[in-house]
Structure 1
Amino acid sequence: MEDFKNIFVLGIGLIGGSLARDLKRVLPESTIYGVDNNDDHLDEAVGLGVIDHPARFEAINQADLVILAIPVDQANLFLPPVLDAIAPNALVMDVGSTKGSVCDAVQDHPKRNQFLAAHPIAGTEFSGPSAAIENLYKNKTMILCEVEQTREDLLAKAMQIFEALSMQIRYMNPHSHDKHIAYVSHLSHISSFMLGKTVIEKEKNEKDIFDMAGSGFASTVRLAKSNPATWTPIFKENKANVLESLTEYINNLTHFKNVLEAENYEEVFNEMHNTNHIKSILKGLS
């Protein structure tokens, strides 16, 4: 871990910026460089102390560790040239929320063993450098894919970082990861966006929304505040799995609508009662 002297973070938003903050804490001797296509983001990140210096992509050959925290549809394009440019003992880590297409993009790359596919299960609804917070990843899960294809010495250094950040490790096949994440994350965001859309369209007088909205509504639509520039590429890259999850969700909504129309209140109760099992599944999840 002490070998990661020069760390380059590509994409200084919530995920990349928060990781930069944590790396500054656990690797105080390292220098954190930020690479972003928005110069204002770089200036803001330096001013906030998220990164030490701005940098250009052309300097990436100086990196010991590269963290790719850019939209997932861009990661597929950027990862091969990043691997082309890095030094022989550098590690590249992608932290996007889809893994299948990224892993496929570098499957036959000659420096494939210098890449680690990772997905930290952490985040908020906010974006940009100002959204970066310290300890975002503490006690959160880090999903790693195809670790057997990452060079052992580089993987060991990455694992030291995850341990220093107090993260829990889980290993998954990248395509299984994408299928499961469509249900537990991507579908949640779609549901939140569409609930917000439904209420906005129905309640033309916004004051009524704010006067009547309780904590349940606020918590359910919290994810609708997420950045569309982040989530559109995610839905694009994981389209097949998202469509599958949407189909099942719509079927459940249709069934609930049908039993309510039929005044079958026993089934309405059973639908909710059976789903209460989610409390035991999510017990202890913050």
Structure 2
Amino acid sequence: MIQKINSLSIIGLGLIGGSFALVVKNKFPDIIIYGVDQNPAHAAKALELNLIDEIKTSDDSKVLGSDLIILAIPVNAIIEILPQLLSNISSNTVVVDTGSTKSSICQAVSHHNNRSQFVAAHPIAGTEYSGPESAFESLFRGKKNLICEFELCNTEAKECANWFFKLVEMDNIFMDAESHDKHLAYVSHLSHISSFMLGLTVLNIEKDEENILNLAGSGFASTVRLAKSSPDMWAPIFQQNKSYLSKALDEYILQLMNFQEQLKSDNSNEIKVLMQKANEIRKVLD
């Protein structure tokens, strides 16, 4: 196992990138952290909050020469910047992404000469909030981290990634990129779409019924919580995973249509059966 790194660059200083920085700052304050963000206000706020030591650009020599570079930006931006980074980084630099889709990202660098210095990761952690002020140190503690195509990484990249994710107290799970995108379409991406569309539905109704939101309880708040997530982050995720996500939506729509049909038919027994079947999700989540 490698010893701690000396320098870290984080590209994207929001919830994920900022929380990574907090962990490193608190556990190894002598590690130099360079921060990169296309939003100057975010970069300035991250510096003000002492999440980073210096503000840089992605093509700065200190960033390209860092021991580790973390990409905590939207997946479309990862695809754009990753090949350029791999072409210009030091031979000892490791690049780790945190994107919620993996197939398109992995394909973008599948034939790159420095592919072995890249680790395709997806920390399963987050909230509906964004920006550097939303960062907190315990975000990753005890959470799962999905790593794809780990067999394509060189020894240094594997050791660096293992060290870093152990540092932030995550448990690694290894899988291929296609399986990742298929499974995440159902257990993550679909739930976000459901929440976004529920929020939109209620907002449309609320135009005519002003008091509807005053009547909303904790059930509504928990169900629609994800609708507060960043569209800038989630729209590219939906687009990149549209194939598997479309299949997930087809099944979801069928379930909704079936429920609606039973409701229209006053078939309360069948509605109860459907809900009892849905209760079996406890076996997975409890």
Superposition TM-score tier, normalisation by shorter sequence: over 0.9
Q: Which residue of structure 1 lines up, in the alignment, with residue 269 of structure 2?
A: 266
Distance 1:260 1:85 in 2: 60
2:130–2:230 contact (8 Å) kept in structure 1: yes
Report if the CA contact (8 A) 2:20-2:168 is conserved. Answer: no
Runs (4+) of structure 1 moved beyond 4 Å?
A: none
Q: Pick which of 150-159 and 214-223 moved more.
A: 150-159
Q: Is 1:213 the counterpart of 2:216 in the alignment?
A: yes
Name which of 240, 243, 252 aligns with 1:240.
243
Q: CA deviation at 1:157?
A: 2.3
Matched AA of 2:109: V
TM-score norm. by structure 2 comes to: 0.96
Answer whether contact 1:200 1:206 (CA < 8 A) is retained.
no
- How far apart are residue 206 of structure 1 and its match? 6.9
Q: Which residue of 2 is the match for residue 31 of structure 1?
A: 32
Give the 3-state SS of the residue equivalent to 2:140 in structure 1: coil
Among 122, 134, 139, the alignment partner of 2:142 is 139
In the TM superposition, what is the alpha-carbon distance from 1:47 to its structure 2 partner?
A: 0.5
1:157 counterpart = 2:177: no
CA 206–64 in structure 1, closer or farther in 2 if over 3 Å, else same: farther
**Which moved further from structure 2: 205-214 or 229-238?**
205-214
SS of 1:153's equivalent?
helix
Q: Following the alignment from structure 1 to structure 2, what is the Cα–Cα distance between the partners of residues 135 and 124?
A: 12
Counterpart Cα distance in 1 of 2:72 and 2:165: 16
Inter-partner Cα distance in structure 2 for 1:203 and 1:69: 36
Partner residue in 1 for 2:11: 10
C-alpha separation in 2, matches of 1:259 and 1:30: 60
Secondary structure of 2:162's partner?
A: helix
| Residue aligned with 2:59, SS | helix
| Distance (whole Å) between structure 1 residues aligned to residue 213 and residue 242 of structure 2 | 34
Query: Which deviates more, 164-173 or 116-125?
Result: 164-173
CA–CA separation in structure 2 for the residues paired with 1:72 and 1:210: 33
Unaligned runs of 5+ in 2: none
| 1:122 aligns to 2:125 (yes or no) | yes
CA RMSD of aligned residues (A): 1.3
- Paired residues of 1:50 and 1:132 also in contact (CA < 8 A): no
The CA deviation string for residues 26-62 of structure 1, in whole angstroms up to 9 with x for no partner, is 3332111111111111100000112111011222322
- Structure 2 letter corresponding to 1:100: S
Read off the aligned partner of 1:187 and give its amino acid letter. Answer: L
Q: TM-score, normalised by structure 1?
A: 0.96
Q: Count the aligned residue pairs.
A: 283
CA distance, structure 1, for counterparts of residue 217 and residue 59 of structure 2: 50
